Amino acid sequence: MESKLNFSSSSFKKYFANTSWLFFERVLRIIISFVVVIYVVRYLGPKDFGLYSYVIS
């Protein structure tokens, strides 16, 4: 049984574009969650954020 992969230039471009969007989305999600955690820490303070972290875990 012989299997050949035929990547034409258009399918490769589509694959690369989709992979790029997924990577960008993941990086953006990490950055946004980091900013939100910083905001929540500043808003709640150390004591309440510790309680929040304990409840979440």
Asked if residue 44 is part of any domain, the answer here is: yes
For the stretch 22-54, pLDDT in tens is 999 999 999 999 999 999 999 999 999 999 999
Q: Which domain holds residue 36?
A: 28-57
Is a pLDDT exceeding 70 seen at residue 7? no
Contact 21, 30 (CB under 8 A): no
- More confidently predicted of 8 and 13: 13
pLDDT in the model for residue 13: 86
Residues 30, 33: Cα–Cα separation, whole Å: 5
Residue 52 maps to a domain: yes
Residue 18 has pLDDT above 90, yes or no: yes
Number of domains in the chain: 1
Q: What is the pLDDT of residue 44?
A: 94
Taking the CA atoms of residue 12, residue 18, residue 21 and residue 27 in that order, the dihedral angle to the nearest 10 degrees is: -90
Amino acid identity of residue 13, one-letter, is K
Whole-structure pTM value: 0.65
